[in-house]
Amino acid sequence: MNIAVERLVLPATWDEDSEAGRVFRAVVDLTRDIRAHYYGTPAVAYDPPELLGLLQRSATERFVGFTAAVDGRLVGRALLWLPLRENTTMIEGSWLLAPGLDAAAHAATASALLDALDTVADAEARPWHLLEVPCTPGRLVPAGGVGSADPDAPDAAALLARGFTLQQVYRYQVADLAALTDLDARLAAALVPGYRLVTWTGRVPEPHRGAFCALVATMDREVPTGGVQYEAQHWDDARLAAFEDTLERAGRTLVGTLALTDAGEPAGYTELMATGRAVAHQGDTLVAPAHRGRRLARWLKLANLAQLRAGFGAARWVTTDNAEENAAMLAINESIGFTTALHEGLWQRLPAPERSR
């Protein structure tokens, strides 16, 4: 068995007539097939310009990718992100391998991708690593305390052998907008007295950019992270504009809803990324601690789904993912109609001196 892991070279355009263009398009096809396997529909695929747009360097992160082939057949790809503002000793990433791969080839490929990660880590002097990969339930419980993974599955075994520990299990879900026939009635019933919603598509409107940044900046400390300690993110208008640029480069449109108190104080937000195709992706949802327990998140999400449906006629499938310990968010999503497609484990390897602490 010959395993070949190679650096993914991005073409200048998705349809470039070059080796880089051909490899990139093969990666898009493989990603589509793997996502279709888990979600049950190819409609959740990224399209080539979208993926190329998402992988461009931005003001906040840089991308490094790898392809993996077994005996000349492309079987996987790893996407690694190098944050440029905070968490600058970290590499975070994910890999997806073809579901039909036999266990020995899967284990050898996972191990070869970890070798590639180590090469980047040494070259970039980034010793803190977070990797998210699909998992199946088993006897390993993550640091977050909820969910589980099979430690003997090929990915898990390779990660454990290389010093990674399981921090969280994520539930990846999808909702079919076509099945939400009572969305308007549910939205009307979800209204929370004392608050109003502001909705928009595209760039966050001028009067709300400060409030949006203030809420987004708290996300990493409010969301459950298992044992992962992210540095706090600083969000200002320039960072928001860079985020908006990245979405636009990928052909995505931000569909946002902000909750304000009647007095105008920001209380929460939710965001969807519309693609113009059948799939849209849920981004963050947050209710500020002082405003929790009033069912604001459900109202926000229903309003945003209604806005998506009204503005993006092709939108049908909405994907989302949340940590298994995020009981409130999962309860809301499942009451809306999201169903589970797959689970992924979030694995961490700390710099060597910190691992034994």
Q: Is 242 helix (H, G, I), strand (E, B) or coil?
A: helix
Please give the backbone phi and psi of residue 300, each rounded to the nearest 5 degrees, phi first: -55, -50
Residue with tokens 């390779």, as numbered in its chain: 158
Q: Which of 22, 229, 331, 354 binds ligand COA (CB under 6 A)?
A: 331
Decide: is 186 part of the binding site for ligand COA (CB under 6 A). Answer: no
Are 169 and 135 in contact, with CB atoms under 8 Å apart?
yes
Residue 176 or 220 with smaller CB distance to ligand COA: 220
Residues 6+ apart with CB under 8 A from 98: 30, 33, 34, 75, 76
Residue 161 or 327 with smaller CB distance to ligand COA: 327
Segment near ligand COA (CB under 6 A); pick from 125-133, 170-178, 286-294, 346-354: 286-294
Residue 62 or 281 with smaller CB distance to ligand COA: 281
Residue 319 or 322 with smaller CB distance to ligand COA: 322
Residue 8 or 204 with smaller CB distance to ligand COA: 204
CB of 48 to ligand COA, least distance (A): 28
DSSP string, 121-164: HHHHT--EEEEEEEE---SBPPTTSS--B-TTSHHHHHHHHTT-
Strand partners, 344: 134, 170
Are 240 and 204 in contact, with CB atoms under 8 Å apart?
yes
Are 80 and 64 in contact, with CB atoms under 8 Å apart?
yes
CB atoms within 10 A of CB 65: 21
Q: Which of 287, 305, 308, 341 binds ligand COA (CB under 6 A)?
A: 287
Q: Which of 322, 324, 342, 347 binds ligand COA (CB under 6 A)?
A: 322
59 DSSP assignment: S
CB of 112 to ligand COA, least distance (A): 33
| Nearest-10 crossing angle of helices 237-249, 209-216 | 90
Within 211-230, which residues bind ligand COA (CB under 6 A)?
222-223
Give the total of residues touching ligand COA (CB under 6 A).
21
Q: Which two tokens stand for residue 339?
A: 């169903």
Decide: is 296 part of the binding site for ligand COA (CB under 6 A). Answer: yes
Segment near ligand COA (CB under 6 A); pick from 9-17, 88-96, 171-179, 320-328: 320-328
CB of 319 to ligand COA, least distance (A): 13
Q: Which residues of this protein are in contact with ligand COA, per CB under 6 A? A: 222-223, 284-287, 292-298, 322, 326-329, 331-332, 335
